[in-house]
Amino acid sequence: MDNPPQPPIALSARNLQKTYKAGGNQPAKHALKGIDLDIPRGAIFGLLGPNGAGKSTFINILAGLVIKSGGSANIWGFDIDANPRQARASIGIVPQELSIDPFFTPAEIMDLQAGLYGVPRRQRRTMEILSAMGLADKAQAYARTLSGGMRRRLLVAKAMVHNPPVLVLDEPTAGVDIELRRQLWDYVIDLNRQGVTIMLTTHYLEEAEELCDTIAIIDNGAVVACDKTQNLLQQIDNKTLVIRPSTQLAAAPVIAGLQCALRDDGQLAVQYNPGQQAAGEVLAQVQNSGIEIADLASEGADLETVFMKLTGPSSL
């Protein structure tokens, strides 16, 4: 049998809106103010934003848990209004909270989930998925005996039970220690290599930098940036050489093509774009302007800087 053609865009949103109605003493909240996003097939896409930005609202609309107020969303070519069943079948969602029934075994949990999604018994790949998540030897153990990391992997396994082409992970490594985080990243990368398109939300900029090829930053219900991770990092002149001159400078020198600033501690901060200029050239230019260098450090801009620049320091 021929496989159906795969859509070039795995997930998209057009002018997606959500207003939560006022309730109790809470005023109405315009949580999504027209989100436009395209997530290409095969991407590991990061959705970043401060608390309250609207990330969960966006995911919950995709999951069918929150009803949008306007706009449209499309999963694997299926409009969530026109083809809700197919749209739902095309996405697996790994929730943030570790909610696992402690009295079932991972194999039973997988089976229940498969039943929920109407996956016929013959087509169930319980052991294959559990093995891929490093849980084969725990298949028959009570879930309550699983460690936090194992539970998280079980949630990923559970979300993959119906073999969806798109997997959404909501803060996959929140509160997970560094070692385990790495391990989870490896599982995510593995799934992606097998062809699964991944979207994840994260608070850890390092995680987005490490894992995601493309990143969207949302703030206050709107997309404020969306670009390849590398481009986003290059968007700002993103390296600074911090030079301690041998003799105190009265003022920052004027050097063509470089932004120089004299800091309060007497150090000279020289900003440059590493994509356009090598650090050696920058140093040579500084020296040619007559400054003798006693010491040197480099400050790199990272996503955190981009993030702060785009969302403002008050929103972190």
Size of the site for ligand ADP (CB under 6 A): 12
Indicate the residue among 61 and 135 with the shorter CB distance to ligand ADP: 61
Of 28 and 261, CB closest to ligand ADP: 28
Classified as helix, coil or strand, 54 is coil
73 lines the binding site for ligand ADP (CB under 6 A): no
Query: How far is 52 from 310, CA to CA, in rounded Å?
Result: 16
Alpha helical stretches, state H, 9-147 = 55-62, 84-89, 106-116, 126-132
CA 179 to chain CA mean position, Å: 19
Shortest Cβ distance from residue 30 to ligand ADP (Å)?
8
Chain residues 48-67 in contact with ligand ADP, contact rule CB under 6 A = 49, 51-57
Tell me how far apart the alpha carbons of residues 221 and 281 are, in angstroms, rounded to a whole number: 42
Q: Restricting to residues 21-50, which ones interact with ligand ADP according to CB under 6 A? A: 26, 29, 31, 49
Q: Closest CB to ligand ADP among 54 and 95?
A: 54
Q: How far is CA 273 from CA 16, 281, 301, in A?
A: 36, 12, 10
- Closest approach, Cβ 311 to ligand ADP, in A, equals 11
Record the tokens describing residue 170, joined without a space.
């909501």
Q: 3-state DSSP call for residue 137?
A: helix
- Measured from the CB of residue 209, what is the shortest distance to ligand ADP in angstroms? 19
Q: In angstroms, what is the minimal distance from the CB of 47 to ligand ADP?
A: 9
**Who's near 128: CB < 8 A, 6+ residues apart?**
none
- Smallest distance from the beta carbon of 200 to ligand ADP, in angstroms? 13
Q: Kindly tell me which of 31 and 109 has the beta carbon lying closer to ligand ADP.
A: 31
For the chain, the first-to-last Cα distance in angstroms comes to 51
By the criterion CB under 6 A, which residues form the site for ligand ADP? 20, 26, 29, 31, 49, 51-57
